[in-house]
Structure 1
Amino acid sequence: MAKITILGSGGFGLSLAVMCVSGGHDVTVWSKFRDEIDTIKRSGELRSKLPGVMIPKEVKLTTDISDVKGSDIVILGIPTRFCREVCEEAKPFVSRESIIVNTAKGLEPESLKLMSEVTDESFPDNRTAILSGPSHAEEIGRGIPTTVVVASEDREVSYYVQNALSNQTFRVYVNDDVVGCEIGGSLKNIIALAAGVCDGLGLGDNTKAALMTRGLTEIARIGIAMGADRNTFAGLTGLGDLIVTCTSMHSRNRRAGILIGQGVAPDEAVRRIGTVEGYECTKNAYELSKRLGIELPITEQLYGILFGGISPKDSISTLMSRPKKNETEDGFLGRR
């Protein structure tokens, strides 16, 4: 049994709490929002974040971040934008022996750093890892079989997290490619948002298949430029996460994209859906691609839709009218 503290009472954090308690662990969930903690204590669930999933009474609930002391594993379930802020708030209370596991998928605004870089900077004395893969909170919380990946620069850490979190419904694989796993998990939100736009426009399966396939090429292209292993993008944190996020109505990115395709203004669509990581990640990835000198046609067009007032229909026409190319000119998944 491990002592696990989950920072963040969002859907994913709560679903992991349910899963970890079922595995016999000592679990605490921290939130800065007293109303969320009080709602769970009163009703046994948090409908706004994880409807229909009851939070076991064995899960300890707190708004006191000092309760993170003495944890074997600290899981960060914080949106990308606020990850560093919460890390710095928790830092004085986190034991040096605690393993920090980040689940946020995105790039830090302005710095464009990976979340693993953020956690390493915030907790220089701790060993860290990331947890990523095709994993809707709604399904983890209901015990639906799910497979994810843990990645760390320290394989011993990966094995520890794998053994601690794996159970009959939650299977954890190990991957040494931290950068690839992070890029795949982050940039797939961009492609899922674009896939939703296609759905909102009423386009067909042909269009979505093309978008997902070429989107995966873009994800791999930028990942490889940052030192990732191309094989990672054919795995759970690449292709797997892309499939689940582009095709499911659990996906907030896809649902926001559908609204945009139907004519709702992008900022209003995000307001209606809530946290849509792909919205900000599109801007960050666009800026990163310019910094790296990498062409990302789908990302560029989505950036234009979200922040430049370009109509989705015009973007589709632009993509379809690009210069003719050989599909394998850069090789499969970016190989030259």
Structure 2
Amino acid sequence: MVNTLPTKEARLVKQGHLKNTLTPFPVHYFTTTPRLTVMGAGAWGSALATVASRNAHPVRLWSRRDGEPLSSAIADADVILCAVSMKGVPSVIAQLKACDIPPEKIILTATKGLDPKTTQTPSQLWQATFPHNPIAVLSGPNLSQEIEQGLPATTVVASQDEAAAQLVQSIFSSETFRVYLNTDPLGTELGGTLKNIMAIAAGVCDGLNLGTNAKAGLLTRALPEMIRIGTHLGASAETFFGLSGLGDLLATCNGTLSRNYRVGLGLAQGKDLKTVLMELQSTAEGVNTTRVLVDLAHQQQIPVPIARQVCRLLDGKITPMTAVQALMERELKAE
């Protein structure tokens, strides 16, 4: 396979208006059609497996409940994709470590969350355990139900190993699923992680029928809060203006397909958190992320006014309306 750019981009590169930072794939990536193993058979893992299958890539879908040894499921994989919930990541990492995988296998994480024990992102946990393997992050405005239906969507694959990112791009790119690349995996991952907190707040806003003005104000202030956290932790501010930041924020805060949005919506309707989570029948990563982030922000003195009010709401310390009023009553200052 040859590294190519779309015609318009190739012309811009030739004219000197756009820098071609892509590098050719290593030869060993193209001895066969790239093979994928997806760890995690939930909605998100299944959706990504469907995308790769539609592109005629061999795909194996592995679940801890199936009983198949992980070692056999990943034996022939070129890319190992982790799509389990945040709480399951450490145990899956431990299982994969026991498989003694070779360094050329690419590990792709699509989990959005923060580890309560270390406050690290999934990719940081993976990189620490597999320092010699390429680690990539996939994140974007990707509601799994729409992707399963074949509706148009875009996403980002980020890695400091450009060849690995390009291989992942080749597996998932199609006419209905456009994959972009960048070299900021931490920022890409944090964008998808932090927006879940903001989605809970957006659900509260809509559940209280506060109107378009209030929600616009909330989302406008949510993005700087995400950037403030991300840059403090070492990510690039520019990443948050892309698909994995602003794009994912808009998608997740504007529809009932988002589980985190539905958490906020349910709380605003007077339900307690336990009932809301029971009705979801799936994981809302924003609940855990909010609590981990607020603890981290307290330790490192990062201002997180929205996340802090969401945390107090989740912990039952305030009502939804009190949370909104607390944000509106903050000290006056320049934008």
TM tier, smaller:
0.7 to 0.9
1:27 to 53, 59, 77: 59
Aligned partner of 2:94 in structure 1 is 88
Q: C-alpha separation between the residues in 2 aligned to 1:307 and 1:33? A: 31
Shift, 1:23, TM fit: 0.2
Aligned partner of 1:153 in structure 2 is 160
Matches within 5 A, 1:237-248: 237-248=244-255
Q: C-alpha deviations, 1:262-302, integer Å up to 9, x for none?
A: 11112321222121100010001111111221111111111
Q: Partner amino acid for 1:227?
A: G
1:70 to 76, 79, 84: 76
| 1:185 partnered with 2:217 | no
Q: Where does structure 1 lack aligned partners over 5 or more consecutive residues?
A: 35-61, 328-336
1:120 to 120, 127, 131: 127
Q: C-alpha separation between the residues in 2 aligned to 1:124 and 1:178? A: 15
Matches within 5 A, 1:1-336: 1-34=33-66, 63-66=68-71, 67-93=73-99, 94-273=101-280, 274-327=282-335
Shift, 1:253, TM fit: 0.5
Q: Partner amino acid for 1:64?
A: P
Q: C-alpha separation between the residues in 1 aligned to 2:308 and 2:253? A: 18
Greater shift in the superposed pair: 74-83 or 90-99: 90-99
Q: C-alpha deviations, 1:115-152, integer Å up to 9, x for none?
A: 11111123233111000000011111111111100111
Q: C-alpha separation between the residues in 2 aligned to 1:231 and 1:105? A: 19
Q: Partner amino acid for 2:54?
A: S
Q: C-alpha separation between the residues in 1 aligned to 2:75 and 2:129? A: 16
Equivalent pair of 1:184/1:238 in contact (CA under 8 Å): yes
RMSD between aligned alpha carbons?
Answer: 1.2
Equivalent pair of 1:75/1:103 in contact (CA under 8 Å): yes
- Secondary structure at the counterpart of residue 253 of structure 2: helix
Aligned partner of 1:54 in structure 2 is none
- Secondary structure at the counterpart of residue 36 of structure 2: strand
- Secondary structure at the counterpart of residue 247 of structure 1: coil
Q: C-alpha separation between the residues in 1 aligned to 2:320 and 2:131? A: 44
Q: C-alpha separation between the residues in 1 aligned to 2:195 and 2:240? A: 10
- Secondary structure at the counterpart of residue 100 of structure 1: strand
Shift, 1:110, TM fit: 2.2
Q: C-alpha separation between the residues in 2 aligned to 1:304 and 1:217? A: 20
Q: C-alpha separation between the residues in 2 aligned to 1:77 and 1:140? A: 15
Shift, 1:112, TM fit: 0.3
Greater shift in the superposed pair: 235-244 or 264-273: 264-273
Q: Between Structure 1 and Structure 2, how many residues are aligned?
A: 300
Percent identical: 39
Q: C-alpha separation between the residues in 2 aligned to 1:91 and 1:170? A: 31
Greater shift in the superposed pair: 185-194 or 203-212: 203-212
Q: How high is the TM-score relative to the length of structure 1? A: 0.87
- Secondary structure at the counterpart of residue 90 of structure 1: helix
Q: C-alpha separation between the residues in 2 aligned to 1:123 and 1:200? A: 43
Equivalent pair of 1:188/1:219 in contact (CA under 8 Å): yes
- Secondary structure at the counterpart of residue 299 of structure 2: helix
Q: C-alpha separation between the residues in 2 aligned to 1:11 and 1:63? A: 19
Q: C-alpha separation between the residues in 2 aligned to 1:179 and 1:292? A: 18
Q: Where does structure 2 lack aligned partners over 5 or more consecutive residues?
A: 1-32
